[in-house]
Amino acid sequence: MHGTNTSHWLYEGKTVNGRPADMAYFEGYRITQAYYEKATDKKKAIREILTVQDADKFLNDSGYATQPKPSPALDLTR
């Protein structure tokens, strides 16, 4: 999250070596989804999502990093 090398995270198309590409987009979506779902004021949440200034605080506030992750199959139906 704090690095500058975005290879293997962004702009790789559909797949890389048989794995889904562009993981940063997917992870960003899930973090944002968790933030929105956790918020009680949805309008305020949208405003905060669109104006994030502190990525570490946003991740922490979303609760995403502490959620259990599905394993081994990934549930993309949410």
Q: Can you give the pLDDT at residue 66?
A: 85
pTM of the model as a whole: 0.68
Coil, strand or helix at 48: helix
**Cβ 30 vs Cβ 58: under 8 Å:** no
d(CA 49, CA 57): 12
pLDDT in tens, 23-36: 778 888 999 999 99
Taking the domains of the chain in order of start, what are their residue ranges? 26-66
Band of pLDDT at residue 4, cut at 50, 70 and 90: confident
pLDDT in tens, 9-57: 566 666 666 666 677 788 889 999 999 999 999 999 999 999 999 999 9
